[in-house]
Amino acid sequence: MIEELTRYIVLSLVENKDAVQITSVDEGDDIVVRILVDKNDMGRAIGKNGKIASSIRTIVKSATGRMNKRYIIKIDAREE
């Protein structure tokens, strides 16, 4: 559910939609959601001063409020 929400948000921001890859790893009480985007789309995914990345984290935190897991969002550039 959270991966689909994150994918929807990120795909609406970036130009190279084929390069987007979203994975999640369960690490006990935390779930790490890793977003990989094309290096040319990093600015679009993070935003000026990290405002878009912060907004993505806020939306995910709101969507998972009643869950007993903490979701950590990490945004990286794809190595090609």
What pLDDT digit, counting tens, does each position of 4-56 carry? Answer: 999 999 999 999 999 999 999 998 889 999 999 999 999 999 999 999 999 99
pLDDT attached to residue 80: 63
Domains of the chain: 2-77 (3.30.300.20)
Q: In this structure, are residues 15 and 6 in contact, taking their beta carbons and an 8 Å threshold?
A: no
Q: In this structure, are residues 60 and 6 in contact, taking their beta carbons and an 8 Å threshold?
A: yes
pLDDT attached to residue 79: 74
Give CA–CA dist 45/35, Å, rounded.
9
Q: In this structure, are residues 26 and 19 in contact, taking their beta carbons and an 8 Å threshold?
A: no
Give the pTM: 0.86
Structure tokens, 6: 């994150």
Please report, for residues 11, 26, 38, 66, the alpha-carbon distance to residue 16 in angstroms, rounded to integers and kept in the order given. Answer: 8, 27, 7, 33
**pLDDT digits over 56-80, tens only?**
999 999 998 888 889 999 999 987 6
The alpha-carbon radius of gyration of the chain (Å, integer) is 12
pLDDT attached to residue 78: 84
